[in-house]
Amino acid sequence: MALVTSGPGASNTVTGIANAYLDSIPIIVLTGQVPTHLIGTDAFQEVDIVGITRPCTKHNFLIKRVEEVAKTIHEAFHIARSGRPGPVLIDLPKDIMAAVTEYEPEPPRKIEEESPRPASKKAFYVMDLVAESKKPLILSGGGVILGGASEELRQLAWRTKMPVSSTLMGLGAFPGSDPLWLGMPGMHGTYYANMAISHCDLLIAIGMRFDDRVTGKIDHFAPNAKIVHVDVDASSINKNVMVDVPIVSDCKSALQSFNALLEQQNFSVTDDQRREWTEQISTWKRENPLSYCQSDTEIKPQFVIETLYKLTKGKAIITTEVGQNQMWAAQFYGYDEPNTFLSSGGLGTMGYGFPAALGVKIAFPDKLVVDIAGDGSIQMNIQEMATAIQDNIPVKIVLLNNGYLGMVRQWQQLFYGKRYSSTDMTYQPDFLKLAEAYGWKGLRATKPEEVEAVLQKGLAAPGPVLMDFRVSREECVYPMVRPGGPIHEMALGREMAN
């Protein structure tokens, strides 16, 4: 829940609300408003926040009678959490907030009973497709995590021996250390995940919306596959990709139905049934693994992430900013549990990771929380360093400092002939001095041999710590699918390395 004042306070929430809307995050935003008799008069600090946010909320309310307050708040929480979760805004005029009324408690509405469930005939049909398939694949999204269906997803994959790829928002729903794991698909997905999508004969998409960054050119997406799409939001089905089996259901109910049928039928898959498919995937993994060119003189950002994973044994909760740092965190840190990777997916909001890390650390004070950041994105909300000190929130920042707005620079390099514009950040703060000014501990590494020691010291230190890693300035994120291209056509970075 967020509580803000009228005018600029309300309008400042719009980016956060849009972020929650695209990533299906349930939040309630209470905004102040001018008194009811001044609404529409261009009064001081008046904005039509209901009109502004109508396209990016599940619902919003303007309360005009104090008797409506309690009922509206109950309704807002129900709307935000039911179906496809999302943001709800309540606009509260000043005179309404100052009024007094009797509160009459209402029993909470049970969301679970209203969740749509898959028709049994469709569940049977999907299991028949699984039994007939030679090259099946599961593609899971953030809906699996939001729906609390990670365990059911794992059971389905293990019983059917289907490999699994997850979107950015779905990372952690399936263990990153599992042999069936293929990594993330799409523009910066793994070679083998994209090739598996391009060659599978059955694609079961669960709790994802076929975002353009995942699909690439639609005409070439899973061209040989029958596609099953499970989503709680009926409007998401057949919106971007036409599917063969649409199933409107929450992920948990659908996966429970699939697993129950497998149990009833005593379903099993032999190694021979999947041998050709698993060997093909193994070949793709062996020939084109996630990789980068090591350096004895420059710190590679991927090396920082790998070292962080080694030292934390994958047990940290990772938040990210947006850009190259986000993609490297998705590629080179393994996520075995849901809700251990938090990032801005649909909107790609710079500045997300640091305040998200603060919130996570408050919610899970015993967990190690690390924000993987870029030197551009971290400055969007750098003032929250004061919040961390004032409220004693001991988060850690791993800053991949390349002196650029890295992802934009990468596009300018690859697609615009290195005509760099507004991406060079040579004149940036000294982050160690900035950390000291805020009362943080600051550490820096400028050579590869310093990386592990800085991470060990920073992670072990009490209180908030900023670790500034001066990484290779023009390192690019690979693999990369060109914008609008098919996902089986990937630049792997070898030509750049040579």
Residue 30 banded pLDDT, cuts 50, 70, 90? very high
Q: Within a domain: residue 172?
A: yes
Residues 315 and 386 both lie in one domain:
yes
- Residue 184 shares a structural domain with residue 313: no
Per-residue pLDDT, 115 = 66
The CA-to-CA distance between both ends of the chain, in Å, stands at 51
| Domain finish residue from 113, 146, 172 | 113
Asked if residues 418 and 412 have their Cβ atoms less than 8 Å apart, the reply is yes
At residue 498, the pLDDT reads: 38
Residue 124 shares a structural domain with residue 103: no
The total number of structural domains that make up the chain: 3
The 8-class DSSP code of residue 316 comes to S
Statement to judge: residues 261 and 342 lie in one domain: no
Contacts of 51 (CB under 8 A, 6+ apart): none
Short-list 275, 238, 225, 245, CA closest to 488 = 225
Computed over every residue of the chain, the mean pLDDT equals 95
Nearest-CA neighbor of 345 among 187, 196, 235? 187
Please name every residue paired with 203 in a beta bridge, in sequence order, or none if there are none: 137, 227
Which pLDDT does position 113 carry in this prediction? 56
The pLDDT of residue 282: 97
In a domain, 82, yes or no: yes
- Average pLDDT value for residue range 192-213: 97
Looking at residues 442-449, what average pLDDT do you find? 98
Do residues 138 and 212 share a domain?
A: yes
Hey, which residues does 245 pair with through a beta bridge?
228
> Are both 402 and 472 inside the same structural domain?
yes
CATH number of the domain that 227 lies in? Answer: 3.40.50.1220
Distances (CA, A) of 487 to 186, 241, 358: 6, 14, 35
The token duo for 50 is 């209901």
Same domain, 98 and 109: yes
Full domain range(s) for residue 357: 301-477
> Is the domain of 105 the same as that of 244?
no
From 113, 129, 149, the end of a domain falls on 113
Question: What does DSSP say about strands 490-491 and 480-481: parallel, antiparallel, or unpaired?
Answer: antiparallel
- Please state the pTM of the whole predicted model: 0.95
Q: Are residues 134 and 109 in the same domain?
A: no
Q: Is 2 helix (H, G, I), strand (E, B) or coil?
A: strand
Query: pLDDT tens, 31-89?
Result: 999 999 999 999 999 999 999 999 999 999 999 999 999 999 999 999 999 999 999 99
What pLDDT score was predicted for residue 497?
42
Detail the DSSP E strand segments found in 337-440. Answer: 341-342, 369-374, 396-401
Q: What is the rounded average pLDDT of the residues 459-476?
A: 97
In a domain, 495, yes or no: no
Does residue 486 sit within a domain?
no
Q: Which of 247, 265, 287 is the last residue of a domain?
A: 287
User: 148 in a domain, yes or no?
Assistant: yes
Whether pLDDT at 351 is above 60: yes
With 0-12 CB in 10 A as exposed, 13-18 as middle and 19+ as buried, what is 36?
middle
pLDDT of residue 112: 58
Confirm whether 488 is domain-assigned: no
Instruction: Looking at the structure, tell me whether residues 316 and 448 fall in a common domain.
Output: yes
Residues 335 and 439 in one domain: yes
Asked if the structure places residue 492 within a domain, the reply is no
Please tell me whether residues 138 and 60 are part of one structural domain.
no
Domain assignment present for residue 293? The answer is no
Give me the mean pLDDT over the 244-261 stretch: 95
Task: Return the CATH number at 440.
Answer: 3.40.50.970
Query: E-strand spans in 48-171?
Result: 59-62, 87-93, 136-140, 164-166
